[in-house]
Homo-oligomer: A and B are copies of this chain.
Amino acid sequence: MKKIKLGIIGAGRIGWVHAKSITYHIPAAEIIAVSDIYVESAKKLAEELSIPNYYSDYHEILNNKEIEAVLICSSTDTHADIACEAAAAGKHVFCEKPVDLTVAKIKKVIAAVDKAGVKLQIGFNRRYDHNFAEIKRLADIGKIGKIQTVKITSRDPEPPTIEYVKVSGGIFLDMTVHDFDMARFIGGEVEEVYANATVMVDDEIGRAGDVDTALVALKFKSGAIGVIDNCRKAAYGYDQRLEVFGSNGQASAANDTPTNVSFIDANSNQSDKPLYFFLERYMQSFTDEMAQFIDCVVNDKPTQTTVYDGLEALRLGLAAKKSVAEHRPVKLSEIEC
């Protein structure tokens, strides 16, 4: 079987995740080059997975004619520029989220991709999660009926460092962005956002200009309503749930757990806590999103998570920030597009 040749730009944590998914689970593709500004990182990944080439400069990947698609796994501030260059070089692009923290730069990516006629998929991996994908399936086949309420719970096990908080764009662009994408995935386009936000986990986060606990009320264009509740820290771990209520019934996804064992003694009836970390929780989804991307490239299908989805999730985040700042519901139409 002819394998499509890939290059990975950025050999950090998520670069490793994708590299392993491709090497071990996606026979239709092979990675022939990896780059990282810290070339030692690229070298280590290359050696571990028998990738023949590694570089410090990603242009060497873009200049390689054999490479048909690139994975952009570098730091967020570089995503948009690299995506534009990659498109211009005729490469299909898998780009980690967020594409960028500004609308303007994402629009440049959209233009570059359109002009080059290449495919671009955004790393909204949760769409490929077994639980959420099943709820989407139930919605699509009409089991849930007309969707009335979408409820998303998304809480992290630990807050990021204060340094990260300062450059993250804030909770709505950094964390809720995944939930905004999930809301759109299930409920369609959003018309209006109202956000409550507060600092209850760590005052340092507040001093850094961000919030750590938030609730976002959504109005969908369909007339449905939605709510996202976020927290930067849940004592019990990573809490990722979805509940979709419609005219015919309700689908809900509980957390995944390490085992299905329960233990009961004189004191309590215990079962497992949720999988603690996103790499465990979402590993299956990372593999499946990559398989989906490769399938789109190989078989010339449209990607299902496009740069437009990245743009809309960003705009929802910006609307939520504006809602908090101005203490009022904000229509998405108020946000630049």
Contact = CB atoms under 8 A, between A and B. Distances in A.
Contacts of A27: 48
Contacts of A151: 229
B223 A200 contact: yes
Contact of A200 (B148, B248, B251, B268): B148
A114 interface: no
A249 B231 contact: no
Interface stretch (A69-77, A257-265, A301-309): A257-265
Contacts of A270: 268-270
Contacts of A258: 130, 134
B134 A261 contact: yes
B146 A200 contact: yes
A264 B257 CA distance: 13
B255 A149 contact: no
Contacts of A235: 145, 247-249, 265-266
Interface in A21-39: 23-25, 27
A249 B264 contact: yes
Contacts of A266: 235-236, 248-249
A265 B329 contact: no
Interface stretch (A60-68, A98-106, A176-184, A212-220): A212-220
19 contacts: A24-B24, A135-B261, A148-B200, A194-B196, A198-B223, A213-B225, A215-B227, A217-B217, A217-B227, A235-B265, A236-B249, A248-B265, A251-B263, A252-B261, A254-B261, A255-B260, A268-B270, A269-B272, A328-B328
Nearest to A213: B148
A234 interface: yes
Contacts of A134: 258-259, 261
A322 B264 CA distance: 34
B215 A215 contact: no
